[in-house]
Structure 1
Amino acid sequence: MSQSGHRVPGFDGTLLAVQDLGSGFPLVLLPGQANNHHWWDDARADFHATHRTITFDYRGTGDSDAPEAGYSTPEFAEDVIAVLDALGVERADVYGTSMGGRVAQWVAVHHPDRVRRLVLGCTSPGGPEALERDASVRRALGQADRRAVVKALVDLMYSPGWRASHPGPYRTLGDPAMAPHARRGHLRASDRHDAWDALPRITAPTLILHGADDRMTPAGNVPLLASRIPDARTHVFPGARHAYFEECRPQASALVAAFLAGE
């Protein structure tokens, strides 16, 4: 099956833009906070040999509607289920990165029958037990000058060596067309995520990936997640920052593909 650009109702009727490409077992790819499906433009093709890839623009991003409500990681997870229902998909693999990893946690917790295998990338359990980014990162991202924020984001996403040979454009820096209320909603959703107590209820085989030099979401969250999710596997990429899935794409995609194949 291959189709793109149509819209389906989310959990509360909000229309969500869906991109449904390739054939094979369904794989849901979830992007980071304040980003749309273009986050996955480079890596998604790595999975088309075995998977049908499904993305959607979060409410408030891309071609989806931007309602005033519905901005929390559990509600985003219900949008995932609504998209699967609309596509007639009973069960899927789920790969979420950054805030998408937080959303994926709730999909696996609340709908275990819908998730075959789970991949969590550059993410955290949230709540008081999580290892948060330091104050300097928060200051850099809180600047009023959008250009300064973009510069800070590029540095947080990619190592200097990788940037030197990959000058962009980068698709992981947020959707610039977002309405202010939607941007605030995404920030609240990510900041208020707390799945610590629920994580032991995840039954899907789980792989946790991270960049060792990630300052956006510190890699110290890997052992925290692994301590809460039964039998989770982990892998940390030396030298990589938040967007390890691009910077270490050959290795990362191969690891994910092997895990999804049951290896």
Structure 2
Amino acid sequence: MLRRNFLAAAGTLIAATAASTANASAATVQGTGTTMTAGLNRLPMTAPTQFVEADGIRFAYRRFGNKNGGVPLVFLMHFLGNMDNWDPAITGGIARDREVIIFDNTGIAGTSGEVPVTIDEMARDATSFITALGLTRVDLLGFSMGGLIAQQIALDHPELVRRLVLAGTGPRSGEGMTTQTPESRAVFGKKYAHPDDLWLGVFFTPSEASQKAGQAFLKRMEARQKNRDVEVDEKKVAPAQLAAIATWGASKPDPYAYLKQIKQPVLVVNGDNDIIILTINSFILKKNLPNAELIIYPDANHGSLFQYSDSFVKSVLSFLKDRDA
């Protein structure tokens, strides 16, 4: 009820955002994100997996794109994801203008070590990875759980972070973040003929248009044919990551006060019907961050950035472009 009432009150903002993105994303709305594999930047499909050691952890990563486009943009991954779970329409689109760095955090896929059980530890390890590359200034793009990590890095090391993009994520003690939402439990608990079909329910709404965009997204996920990342060991990774998310989401007094300490410009992005990290949490971020912009995409779930990949890339590049500090 709280979510429905909040989104109803915010209907004007959603409508305005939808109108502002409709023209830029006409192909996405009408053709449901027809970006498949034709015309994609090939760099995400061909960039070699490299390794760097930091604090006893051997991190797997890929680095590609325009090195003259400003500070690198480091991507922070979602629950149970590895490097191949990044949409090449997004990483490749951004790489035309910016240098992109994707990686597996500690204990995930090709990276060694034990999976941390707190967001604080994940942020610590991600920071160690970034500094091991010799970087002193970066932009961060965090999706879902990655957005929690991005916030913590910005808090712990404000000198390292220039700008943040937070997609499908939420604040500490956010609405519905202590445990999985009922909708999330239903999606993750369902049996699927094809395992990847799980992501159609996690990232996309049931509408025909959104599901068609989801099918295009799944095809893009198969674009990298050679030297793919190591599969995520779900039995090992899921309990640790769920514990970390639960700790982040646990109820605390004055939970959003910490957001005032994040002074960097932030772009917050979500769909209007996120069932994984409820959409209300994006409004909470916008309200409490000192310098935030908000985009809400219509008829979109947790993976709004994948459904509206063209528009999302344009918005991110605009947000980052020519604003080096």
TM-score bin (small chain): 0.7 to 0.9
TM-score by length of 2: 0.71
In the alignment, does 2:78 pair up with 1:32? Answer: yes
In the alignment, does 2:297 pair up with 1:237? Answer: yes
Shift of 1:134: 3.2
Aligned match of 2:278: 218
Runs of 4+ with >3 A deviation: 131-134, 145-153, 169-172, 194-197
Shift of 1:45: 1.1
Aligned match of 1:16: 59
Paired residue for 2:106, among 59, 65, 76?
Answer: 59
In the alignment, does 2:145 pair up with 1:99? Answer: yes
Paired residue for 1:5, among 49, 55, 58?
Answer: 49
Paired residue for 1:138, among 185, 198, 210?
Answer: 185
Paired residue for 2:166, among 109, 116, 120?
Answer: 120
Aligned match of 1:83: 129
Shift of 1:150: 5.4
Q: Is the 8 A contact 2:80 2:232 kept in 1?
A: no
Shift of 1:89: 0.8
Q: Is the 8 A contact 1:141 1:152 kept in 2?
A: yes
Shift of 1:51: 1.3
Show structure 2 runs of 5+ residues with no match.
Answer: 1-45, 223-229, 250-254
Shift of 1:181: 2.4
Going from structure 1 to structure 2, the CA distance change for 1:111 and 1:162 (only over 3 Å counts) comes to same
For 1:45-90, what per-residue CA distance to the aligned partner results, in whole angstroms no more than 9, with x for missing partners? 11123311111112232211242x5232111111221122111111
CA distance in 2, matches of 1:202, 1:158: 30
CA RMSD, aligned part only?
2.6
Matches within 5 A, 1:174-253: 177-178=232-233, 180-194=235-249, 196-253=256-313
Show structure 1 runs of 5+ residues with no match.
Answer: none
Q: Name the SS of the counterpart of 1:82 in structure 2.
A: helix
CA distance in 2, matches of 1:229, 1:57: 28
CA distance in 1, matches of 2:164, 2:94: 15
Q: Name the SS of the counterpart of 1:213 in structure 2.
A: coil
CA distance in 1, matches of 2:198, 2:83: 22
Question: Matched residues, percent identical?
Answer: 24
Q: Is the 8 A contact 1:131 1:220 kept in 2?
A: no
TM-score by length of 1: 0.86
More strand by share: 1
**Greater Rg, structure 1 or structure 2?**
2
Count of matched residue positions in the alignment of Structure 1 and Structure 2: 256
More helix by share: 2
**Higher RCO (CA 8 Å, separation ≥ 6 residues):** 2
Going from structure 1 to structure 2, the CA distance change for 1:9 and 1:190 (only over 3 Å counts) comes to farther
For 1:88-126, what per-residue CA distance to the aligned partner results, in whole angstroms no more than 9, with x for missing partners? 111011111100111100011111001111110000113
